[in-house]
A and B are shown apart, each in its own frame.
Chain A
Amino acid sequence: MALTITCPVCGKRNGYEFKYGGEEKGPRPEEKDLNPQAWCEYVHMNKCVAGVQEEWWFHKDGCGSWFTILRDTTTNLEQEKKEAKK
């Protein structure tokens, strides 16, 4: 409830306006010659950092953009970052 997230379009808002989209893992791998193991790693394996991680959020009640933030998973506080992806 108390988490706040800074949307690059709408600014700082209550966390419940957003939906979590998982850790930042980079783009989908090319499918040619992709072995199932590598695919599963990409889709299902997470780092589960205790500390600051880059992660995706969707502003579902707001502007509808996907973006990443840096969040400290131990305090549930957002960290400022220089350039946000969109």
Chain B
Amino acid sequence: MMNRLDHMPTLKIDGFRKIGFIYKKKKYYGVEGDTVATALYANGIRIFARSLKYHRPRGLYSLDGECSNTCMEVDNIPNVRCENTLLKEGMVIKEQNVKGSAENDMMSFIDKMDWMMPAGFYYNTMHKPASIWPIAMKQIRKAAGLGTLSPDFEMPGIYDEIFPTTDVCIIGGGPSGMMAAVAAAKKGLRVIIMEARPWLGGFFEYRSSQYKPGKDKGSQSLHDRALELDREVNALENIRVFTHTSMVGAYNNNLITGFQIGKESDLFDQRYIEIRAKSVVVATGCIERPLIFDNNERPGVMQIGCALRLANTYGLLPGQKAVFSIGHDLGLEAALELSSLGLNIELIADIREDGQNPELLQKLEDKNITLLKGWVACKANGKKRVKNVELSSIDGLASKTVSCDLIVASAGMTPVTGPVTIAQGKLKYDAHTGFFLADKLPEKIHVTGRLLGLDNPLSIETSGTIAGLQAALDCENCSIKEIGDIKKSLKNLPGPTRGTKLVTAPVKGRKSFICFDEDTTIKNIKQAIEKGFDVPELIKRFTSAGTGPGQGGIPGHNLPLYVAKYQALPDISIKPTTTRPPLVPTLLSTYAGTNHIMLKQTPMDKMQREDGGIFRNIGVWQRARYFSNDLTCKKEIENIRSNVGMLDASTLGKFRIHGPDALKALQRVFVSDMSKVQQGRMKYSAMCNDDGCVIDDGVITKLGENDYYFTTSTGRAGQTVEWIRYHTRYDKWNFHIVNLTDSMGVINLAGPNARKVLAKIVDMDISNEAFGFSEYKEFNIKDCIPVRAMRLGFVGELSYELHVPSSYMLSVWLMLKDAGKEFRIQNFGVEAQNVLRMEKCHIILGQESEQRTNLLDVGLEFLWDRTKADAKTIGAVALSQAEKDKDRFKLVGFKMEENGRAPHDGSLIVDEKVRGYVCTARDSFSLNEAVGMALVDGPLSKIGTRLEIYEDECNGKRIYGKVVEMPFYDPEGSRMKM
């Protein structure tokens, strides 16, 4: 057992199981159950880090991570919230934002320079004279920010994600949350509880005071009651509990996001949780409202819950001699508990003159603990940690100094309203409790417990039951009457207690910090108000109070209270600042989650990789772009022009459309007259959008009566069904589409020897006479594999496009390779195809077109049938208009002058202004010159026009081409028809 208290039932540590870790290159030990912060505290570490701006020493303050005081570098990850991070064996922990060490920081002199840095000093000073900015920027960049990352840092860890659906989602696993969960679950609903701490119980869990004070109810402590509720929750199968899970976002229709920190036994370090709930209960409870006085963040100053939980949860006495300066009964209760655990309580200063629980007062008297009512801490003294505290009466008339090493300071309570705000709920100031409470809630969101201002344990629990039933009502599983009955019983229980409103001790506030993360003092707030900023939302931006990792956890409540008071406003109508997701700091890698990349492979993927294919991601597919490191693809191209090769064209969209109105649908979307599509022949056509801009092209054949097969471009396949259905959505036509894209792999067998290769594996006559250009045939290979074959000429040579059932593709591939062996058949990739088809001036949409390019611009007007007005062909109306415009872009072919090289794709065509751009251009091996296609202004499209080409980064040096006839290669088309 390591120097820990060991007898309390509330402890969450196992003092016999040591956990070793490295801190500042030395080995230390914590115990199982420790957080990084408590393990360091147990080892006497009091200064965890230095503050952002002034490099002030910072220590343990809240234990729930509401400020960046204990952000440290853990296992090379900066800004880890040590209070929320469980200690693991072998962790390496370093301080942040220090030059030297946190104990002796060479930058600590800055604390004395605060007069140079009033609120908004960046805005005010750094721009005059302008020349100072580059120098100042370098220095500020060095000083600003917490933690460092190397540029090649890779985030370690395993990140997971889950997307549960539930009826009721409860945020907060304290007493009211658990009661709500039980109430809803007993109505047969599915319930999820998200609890930020690693265990349920909320603020019952660590307290040993009586659950029902004053009543003869046995000796059940709040802690026992928490355990009892925990058991009740766990006994219900339809409640799912996520512990160590912070809620970070709330969106429309009750979408709740959060993340869970993995236990030692979990396979993940963190996991993103996205919950869709029918109803949401916010049961986040309270945190403490910080008390502001001079040096109120000096190590040795901490909140009540922090001091109490250090002892009760982690077995650590927070100090030796303590002074309490508090404004709430929890402070008195904690003083009593800590005193009985061995802490010397020098004095309790209570902000309140009256209203304390008489029972607690009696106990304090019994223990001889001095309580000064109407007193408050004014200043903590001690350079690096607290040595004594100056106290004063609230009116500032009397004062005294008490030596101590611990100041437990807390002005009051503050409900955690962040989830309400980010769910678009509205808050309103409540004068009785001094809280900002939920005023208008979105549909199907409920608040409970301390968010209603309640304080009494029974009231809190009852309100939880009500919230649970209200959520059940949202899910139509509960009656309004039932809720009414319980509401009545809540009326008989104690209501909200009066809260304190004091924000700061009577001090000037130069070193009184309202926001720890951003080093914002009370003085800064005053400066901002004096400059004319009057509402907290603006003051927050000017002083950056509440913009740090704590998301306003420290200043959130104090800022609007103080701003109202300082401006002498009659009531506190001032709104609190807005909180936004993520409510607590969330790692980007947590949001990224498992990050599965989903890409498609063709049935030839494996074979092509084995043959040395170099793959690229193209849309949703992975395709072989090259088959050697020669990115000009010279060999691949020459092989097709003179021999035979195989290309994987499986990514083409492939569709069957059938049914009585199939032809009508085709007439609607294709620009050609589709009634001319014949069985056994392929027809090339295109689709336009309503602006006449060409969006897709492909080939169609007729399989039978009211039955067609067509292809689309790779990129459009995913949208084809959507497109056809959209444009026929009013017509009630009877037709059906089947997406067969993935069901067939496509080999394009191309080159003058293609026929000889294919003939070896098929048992039919495939001579030019039997199977001519643009014909379609279905046949079986080896009486077994059904193949759809088309003779097309995209690359400008004799070629067969073979559509083969995907599962048979390997077999057909091997047969073709075997058959082609004597011709030295080769693979060719997408880039070689790109050059081959460019030489033929066959366009690829997206390359020879962009969003505004219409069918006429790319020279495909011959596809357009103007006689089918009844079909309401998409794009036809716009094309009739565009036809009259002679200035539109035109697709032209060009050759480079004086045997020059090809310009880069995308280069501009210019004269005094931009006149067009190069679509595709290559040094053609087939033609021995550089050729390409460009979209140019109509008047530049005449044959012989000189094109001035401006390349990116050409340094003003233009190159020149000349418009020539298209196509460049085999203009008669005899090679593909041979």
Which residues of A approach B to under 8 Å, CB–CB? 1-4, 14, 19, 21, 26-28, 30-32, 34, 36, 39, 43, 56, 58, 60, 64-66, 75-77
* A66 and B725 form a contact (CB under 8 A): yes
A27 and B668 CA atoms in complex are apart in Å by: 13
Give the chain A neighbours of B881 by CB distance below 8 A.
Answer: 36
Give the chain B neighbours of A31 by CB distance below 8 A.
Answer: 869-870, 872, 876-877
Q: In the complex where A31-B869, A64-B722 touch, is A36 in contact with B877 (Cβ < 8 A)?
A: yes
* A39 and B252 form a contact (CB under 8 A): no
Q: Is B253 an interface residue (CB 8 A)?
A: yes
* A3 and B253 form a contact (CB under 8 A): yes
Which of these, A19, A21, A39, A75, contacts B877 with CB under 8 Å? A39
Counting chain A CB atoms within 10 Å of each CB, the highest count among B255, B872, B877 belongs to B877
Q: Which residue of B lies closest to A58 (CB)?
A: B722
Instruction: Give chain A nearest CB distance to B427 CB in angstroms.
Output: 19
Give the chain A neighbours of B731 by CB distance below 8 A.
Answer: 27
A57 and B690 CA atoms in complex are apart in Å by: 18
Instruction: Give chain B nearest CB distance to A57 CB in angstroms.
Output: 11
Instruction: Give chain A nearest CB distance to B965 CB in angstroms.
Output: 34
Q: In the complex where A2-B251, A19-B722 touch, is A27 in contact with B876 (Cβ < 8 A)?
A: no
* A43 and B690 form a contact (CB under 8 A): yes
* A2 and B252 form a contact (CB under 8 A): yes
Q: Which residue of B lies closest to A85 (CB)?
A: B729
Q: Which residue of B lies closest to A4 (CB)?
A: B253
* A60 and B877 form a contact (CB under 8 A): no
Q: Is B781 an interface residue (CB 8 A)?
A: no
Instruction: Give chain A nearest CB distance to B722 CB in angstroms.
Output: 5
* B722 and A77 form a contact (CB under 8 A): no
Chain A to chain B contacts (Cβ below 8 Å), 16 pairs: A2-B255, A4-B252, A4-B253, A4-B276, A14-B276, A27-B731, A36-B877, A39-B877, A43-B691, A56-B726, A58-B722, A58-B726, A60-B722, A64-B722, A66-B729, A75-B252
Give the chain B neighbours of A34 by CB distance below 8 A.
Answer: 877
Which of these, A14, A30, A64, A77, contacts B725 with CB under 8 Å? A64
Q: Which residue of A lies closest to B869 (CB)?
A: A31
A26 and B869 CA atoms in complex are apart in Å by: 19
Give the chain B neighbours of A28 by CB distance below 8 A.
Answer: 727, 730, 872
* A66 and B726 form a contact (CB under 8 A): yes
Q: A21-B726, A31-B870, A66-B722 are in contact. List 15 more A-B contacts (CB 8 A).
A: A2-B251, A4-B252, A14-B276, A19-B722, A28-B727, A28-B730, A31-B872, A31-B877, A34-B877, A56-B726, A56-B729, A64-B725, A66-B725, A66-B726, A66-B729
Which DSSP category, helix, strand, loop or mixed, fits chain B's interface? helix
A32 and B721 CA atoms in complex are apart in Å by: 28
Which residues of B approach A to under 8 Å, CB–CB? 251-253, 255, 276, 690-691, 721-722, 725-727, 729-731, 869-870, 872, 876-878, 881
Q: In the complex where A3-B252, A76-B252 touch, is A27 in contact with B722 (Cβ < 8 A)?
A: no
A30 and B730 CA atoms in complex are apart in Å by: 13
* B253 and A27 form a contact (CB under 8 A): no
* A1 and B872 form a contact (CB under 8 A): no
Give the chain A neighbours of B722 by CB distance below 8 A.
Answer: 19, 58, 60, 64, 66
Q: In the complex where A28-B730, A64-B722 touch, is A77 in contact with B252 (Cβ < 8 A)?
A: yes
A75 and B276 CA atoms in complex are apart in Å by: 18
Q: Which residue of B lies closest to A28 (CB)?
A: B872
A3 and B722 CA atoms in complex are apart in Å by: 21
Give the chain A neighbours of B870 by CB distance below 8 A.
Answer: 31
A77 and B869 CA atoms in complex are apart in Å by: 40
A19 and B722 CA atoms in complex are apart in Å by: 9
Instruction: Give chain A nearest CB distance to B879 CB in angstroms.
Output: 12
Give the chain A neighbours of B876 by CB distance below 8 A.
Answer: 31
Instruction: Give chain A nearest CB distance to B11 CB in angstroms.
Output: 41
Q: Which residue of B lies closest to A26 (CB)?
A: B730
Instruction: Give chain A nearest CB distance to B434 CB in angstroms.
Output: 32
Give the chain B neighbours of A66 by CB distance below 8 A.
Answer: 722, 725-726, 729
A75 and B424 CA atoms in complex are apart in Å by: 11
Give the chain A neighbours of B255 by CB distance below 8 A.
Answer: 1-2
A21 and B869 CA atoms in complex are apart in Å by: 24
Give the chain B neighbours of A43 by CB distance below 8 A.
Answer: 690-691
Instruction: Give chain A nearest CB distance to B823 CB in angstroms.
Output: 44
* B251 and A64 form a contact (CB under 8 A): no
Give the chain A neighbours of B253 by CB distance below 8 A.
Answer: 2-4, 77
Instruction: Give chain A nearest CB distance to B356 CB in angstroms.
Output: 46
Instruction: Give chain A nearest CB distance to B661 CB in angstroms.
Output: 15
Q: Which residue of A lies closest to B881 (CB)?
A: A36
A19 and B282 CA atoms in complex are apart in Å by: 33
Q: Which residue of B lies closest to A59 (CB)?
A: B722
* A32 and B726 form a contact (CB under 8 A): no
Which of these, A1, A21, A26, A27, contacts B251 with CB under 8 Å? A1
Give the chain B neighbours of A58 by CB distance below 8 A.
Answer: 722, 725-726
Instruction: Give chain A nearest CB distance to B572 CB in angstroms.
Output: 29
Give the chain A neighbours of B252 by CB distance below 8 A.
Answer: 2-4, 75-77
Give the chain B neighbours of A60 by CB distance below 8 A.
Answer: 722
Instruction: Give chain B nearest CB distance to A7 CB in angstroms.
Output: 14
Give the chain A neighbours of B690 by CB distance below 8 A.
Answer: 43
Instruction: Give chain A nearest CB distance to B46 CB in angstroms.
Output: 43
A28 and B276 CA atoms in complex are apart in Å by: 38
Instruction: Give chain B nearest CB distance to A50 CB in angstroms.
Output: 17
Give the chain A neighbours of B276 by CB distance below 8 A.
Answer: 4, 14
Q: In the complex where A3-B253, A36-B881, A77-B253 touch, is A64 in contact with B869 (Cβ < 8 A)?
A: no
* B721 and A64 form a contact (CB under 8 A): yes
* A27 and B730 form a contact (CB under 8 A): yes
Q: Which residue of B lies closest to A30 (CB)?
A: B872
Give the chain A neighbours of B872 by CB distance below 8 A.
Answer: 28, 30-31
A1 and B249 CA atoms in complex are apart in Å by: 12
Give the chain B neighbours of A1 by CB distance below 8 A.
Answer: 251, 255
Instruction: Give chain A nearest CB distance to B690 CB in angstroms.
Output: 5
Give the chain A neighbours of B726 by CB distance below 8 A.
Answer: 21, 56, 58, 66
* B869 and A32 form a contact (CB under 8 A): yes
Instruction: Give chain A nearest CB distance to B106 CB in angstroms.
Output: 46
- Nearest first, the 4 A-B pairs at minimum CB distance are A2-B251, A27-B730, A2-B252, A2-B255
A19 and B719 CA atoms in complex are apart in Å by: 10
A31 and B721 CA atoms in complex are apart in Å by: 24
Instruction: Give chain A nearest CB distance to B284 CB in angstroms.
Output: 20
A64 and B729 CA atoms in complex are apart in Å by: 12
